[in-house]
Amino acid sequence: MTVFANHLSSRKVQETDAAALIAALSLLAAKEVQISFFGQRVALSVAQILALHDMHGVAIADTLKLAQALVESGISTARIDLGQAVKAGKTAADFKAGVAPATDVVLYGFGRIGRILARLLMSRPASETGLQLKAIVVRPAGEGDLAKRASLLERDSVHGWFDGSVSVDEANNGIIANGRFIQMIYAADPSEVDYTAYGINNAIVIDNTGKWKDEAGLGKHLASKGVAKVLLTAPAKGEVKNIVYGVNHQTIGDDTIVSAASCTTNAITPTLKVLHDEYGIINGHMETVHAFTNDQNLVDNHHKADRRGRAAPLNMVMTSTGAASAVAKAIPELKGKLSGNAIRVPTPNVSLAILNLNFEKAVGSAEALNAFIKQASQSLQWQEQIDYSDSPEAVSTDFVGSEKVAIFDAKATIATDNRATLYVWYDNEMGYSTQVIRVTEEMAGIRY
């Protein structure tokens, strides 16, 4: 038999196993079991499943055996990384059910982050437990607004078509996504909304507007009937905690108002935490090469902020960022040790953080530092936050849609003695939104 024939025969067996694995994963999903593979969400695609196995050197037969055993065990309400489980030699008996109380969720604001959060939530299998997206609140608008909102959820210039179906329920003023109803509520201020009138109770409001950033402003949501907690998707001011999941989410406790910080803060904080714990960061500077955002102008026009009035698609625009100082809220030991600045560039998504750091301990060579980060990115603790890229051809569009909050670019690392310059890519929309979902689950008391 030729080499070609051998490979073809082996691939056919693998594809058969992958199809059987998809069937098992579907049964697990129906019982609120979330499956990942070395930190990456598993799509129900034979090609993608086999690619993940090839990438990580795991036998599909071993994964299938464990998945089928999990189905037979009857486990529910769990989050399982099949890749890590197979690697560690785990069996179905090593896993137990968690607690995922049904929690109503309201998206206050439906811009870039709001729509991606809706996509992520509505792409999950229908369930009576866990996060339940019940409503979206937007400012009062004219005729046809509902259809436009639904269309923007369905179609996206950056992330493509929504994975499922979207339709409009004009009679009930709502959107139906993947067979589930989402109430559309029009209001100019939280005080105008009585959520209980829509059957919404003890909800977590995710404020995507950025209009209110302190406790007094965000507290308006808590004054609305049916609201229990508020999560801000922007850096907070005052005493409101800035939470980066994986770093300081354990500090949320009983807080009713918290912030999920910024996309940049979420991108750099996990990597900084890993580096600080190992080498000790003396000080450093962070420069963000950031995709332009909706608060900039398409063409030159007046803007209250300096430079942001200049045409975003035509210019690199220098601006400020609070990400460096916000890191200190998640890692107090780094307070006052980092400075930061930002440059907005003419790309619609995916940004790059450049970290120039001085350490207490020598980091050795770039190769040694890369090896350390790679090991961290493959650990159970950090695999959801940190990804690792060593491709010599990697560019920003390669990371569109990445649900990892940060992608470490090993080919760009510069290291000498106690100094290093590191490059971290991040999808400032999708990666950040996955972190927001995790913080929301923590606030809801969901324990997979």
Question: Which residues on neighbouring strands pair with residue 176, listed in sequence order?
Answer: 167, 181
| Residues in the chain, overall count | 448
| Rama region for 213: left / alpha / beta (φ>0; ψ in -120 to 50; rest) | alpha
Q: H or E segment at 185?
A: strand 180-186
DSSP SS3 for 223: coil
Task: Please give the Cα distance from 424 to 203 (Å, whole number).
Answer: 35
Question: Which residues on neighbouring strands pair with residue 386, listed in sequence order?
Answer: 406
DSSP track, 274-337:
HHHHHH-EEEEEEEEEEE--TTS-SSS---SSSSTTS-TTT--EEE---HHHHHHHH-GGGTTT
Task: Please give the Cα distance from 18 to 29 (Å, whole number).
Answer: 16
DSSP SS3 for 76: coil
Catalytic residue among 175, 263, 439, 446: 263
Contact 261, 326 (CB under 8 A): yes
| DSSP secondary structure code for residue 56 in this structure | H
Task: Please give the Cα distance from 225 to 202 (Å, whole number).
Answer: 9
Letter for the amino acid at 283?
A: N
263 is catalytic: yes
Question: Which residues on neighbouring strands pair with residue 287, listed in sequence order?
Answer: 341, 354
Contact 105, 133 (CB under 8 A): yes
**In angstroms, what CA-CA distances link 37 with 42, 54, 283, 314?**
6, 12, 35, 40
Contact 436, 263 (CB under 8 A): no
Query: Catalytic residue positions?
Result: 263
